[in-house]
Structure 1
């Protein structure tokens, strides 16, 4: 397409989307990152229209320099095929364009392929036979995922025998449902999803003499884990953390990854 054709047939059709039930439900959970093949802004609209979203979003295009979120209250949404709100950067659809981006050592493609090889994630709204998804899954086998992490999941309402075979080959748990049904089921079985603060911040009554704000706590516990002593400490009223009490240990930069969305959202 020429730039004028791309603007008419793609940008103007898919910008300013109204979010449907599926992407609205995505905004109810806390995610590490979201990778999408979609060029539309439906997921962004879902977060922007949500009354109390779990995270603040940052939309990143495939050509954006790699960056990691400041803390877990921020969700990066990476558009691997382009983004209608940044139409000047172009779209990635043809095999030749896939090859061009791949040869350019695109950092987001590299990061995603490494994450998919071992870490838990959810794939939905896309087939496992798509050429670039095959590239991302190329390093993943049924034995490559880490044993101390949760399973990776393919959400597909109408799988065929090939899909089931591919799931076995890549070590994916197949869920026969739509993504909206699956996320709704999670809410019914597990209750209201936790907030970033509930996931991240332990009881701080014995750590800080002056309680920090929630945003300060999120930033702090993004970089540190609170390590509880195995045996009870003699002193039942320990000195606050900033005074340097030795029985309180911290580990910097905790591993935490759950990219959920490779169509998308």
Structure 2
């Protein structure tokens, strides 16, 4: 029996506004969504998702209308110029959506500074019922699961998770045995996708594939069954699959349905 909840990630539906993403999730079988409150890059759409905006109110209405819940919000970055006060609107809005998990990227190679900023962020999150989750990505300063563990230890905080994303996990050269070193309490959700087994040869292609051209689970060459078997049986799954080409040109609801259906054999 499937014990995992299934969430439709923001990156999968970045071309539609959050209220539409929520309605699509409800229509295609998902129980949760991940919402992007801050754009990840200058090229991403900004849906005005901080504070008491019209879009925030419309998103709240869609959640109430459908019964869909928010699994996670994104994206916060640990950068050299990290400024916690500027992130208060993000934390407040995340709490308003009744989110519990926050995706955090590591973009600072100065360990002590990054750890101090992470500690401040984790402590601030507690007041809003939010847990920070570090996502290792091979082109960032935080490349591997070990990097995430080192940063958490240096922060001195215990309420910080590690987010395993299938494509980043395999592209970073991780092995399934490394997952056994992560305490179950640090695993709050994972991101599922597929990709070609062969890694891209350049960083530019690596980033493009991760942000824009992943594959439907089962249509690539990643060991998804092995990865999920190595993770806790009830760990929530977020489907993060930005598609390119003909599949990417399909209507958003059709894409979501394809992904929901494909995910079933891995749960």
TM range (shorter): 0.3 to 0.5
Structure showing greater relative contact order (alpha-carbon pairs closer than 8 Å, 6 or more residues apart): 1
Query: Taking structure 1 as the reference length, what is the TM-score of the superposition?
Result: 0.33
